Chain A
């Protein structure tokens, strides 16, 4: 599987995938650990400030399960990004729509993409598959990335990431529960709802 972004969602998603014993993991990021990250990016701590996330993530994940092959792709999801071959699924743990839309475009036909998004204590999970789904850019047309950082609670991160991992494993069996069906989560009142797209 490929995990795009090892920040909030990606740190939890990759950790859960490794604990569950996924065979091969590709991690994509270009960031360094910063103080505001520590409230929700579960792979990093105070001693990691200023260091690159990818290398740290690999070390932490290997310490959890050395049986998972971990490959690092340092960089951003842009027009030059080359998707590795042979993927079973892609986890969209990115933090901006432009990169998300590109990731969706680059995901090969037949490969499931599980998208996660967060704001405060709200979030959503949605599975798409090229050939069976509208492009993400078409579903979220008109959306603009908010300026500045987006506040996210730590509980929201791990809950939405957990839902993403649940769905990623469902895709491995070819039985996604959220194909073209967005699960919208509101922790403020513990409400979940489906939005068909």
Chain B
């Protein structure tokens, strides 16, 4: 299974801390997010992605603790047992 973890405002929006989905051969993060949105039955991709499909700058997505920015972005492949975390950190101090 692929484990998806939601933090902070995302968790409150979706009313759940995590979701689990079976992996799909060749799937990317972008495709996984679509499936996650279907499973949680709450629109949230508009909070993560712009109209052109690129990411908004307020949330980080980590795959197995590594920011996808340093992997292959939204085209990062997703595999069995991967842990995908989505976290909008607080910027203030």
Contacts and interface: CB of A to CB of B under 8 A. Distances in A.
Contacts of A119: 88-92
Given A140-B60, A142-B57, A186-B11, A118 B90 contact: yes
B44 interface: no
Given A141-B60, A191-B11, A196-B65, A124 B89 contact: yes
Interface residues of B, number: 25
A95 B57 contact: no
Contacts of B93: 5, 7-10, 92-95, 116-118
> Secondary structure of the B side of the interface?
mixed
B89 A117 contact: yes
Interface string A113-128: 0001111101110000
Interface of A: 5, 7-10, 92-97, 116-120, 122-124, 134, 138-146, 150-152, 180, 182, 184, 186, 188-189, 191, 193, 195-197
B11 A143 contact: no
B92 A117 contact: yes
B17 interface: yes
A142 B60 contact: yes
